[in-house]
Amino acid sequence: MKRQKRDPLQRALSRGYQAGITGRSKEKCPYQSLNARSHWLGGWRQAIAERVLSPK
């Protein structure tokens, strides 16, 4: 059975989330296309919000 590839926009969101959790700057976004970049930034913002709200 063939495996389907993950949705590229979902992958961008996930990678942005991982970047935000690790503390990377949003300026380090690797995507150039507007759609993928906006998904990456959405994941990044979500991770930053969780970092701010969660106690260390």
Render pLDDT for 1-54 as a digit per residue (tens, 0 to 9).
Answer: 667 778 999 999 999 999 999 999 999 999 999 999 999 999 999 999 998 887
Task: Return the CATH class of domain 8-53.
Answer: mainly alpha
What's the pLDDT at 56? Answer: 61
Tokens 């701010």 belong to 52
Q: What is the pLDDT of residue 55?
A: 62
DSSP-derived letter for residue 33 is S
pLDDT attached to residue 43: 98
pLDDT at 14: 96
pTM, full prediction: 0.85
Q: How far apart are the C-alpha atoms of 1 and 9, rounded to whole Å?
A: 24
For residues 38 and 47, what is the distance between their CA atoms, to the nearest angstrom? 14
Give backbone dihedrals phi and psi of 36, rounded to 5 degrees, phi first: -65, -40
Nearest partner of 53 among 11, 20, 5, judged by Cα: 20
Question: Which pLDDT does position 40 carry in this prediction?
Answer: 98
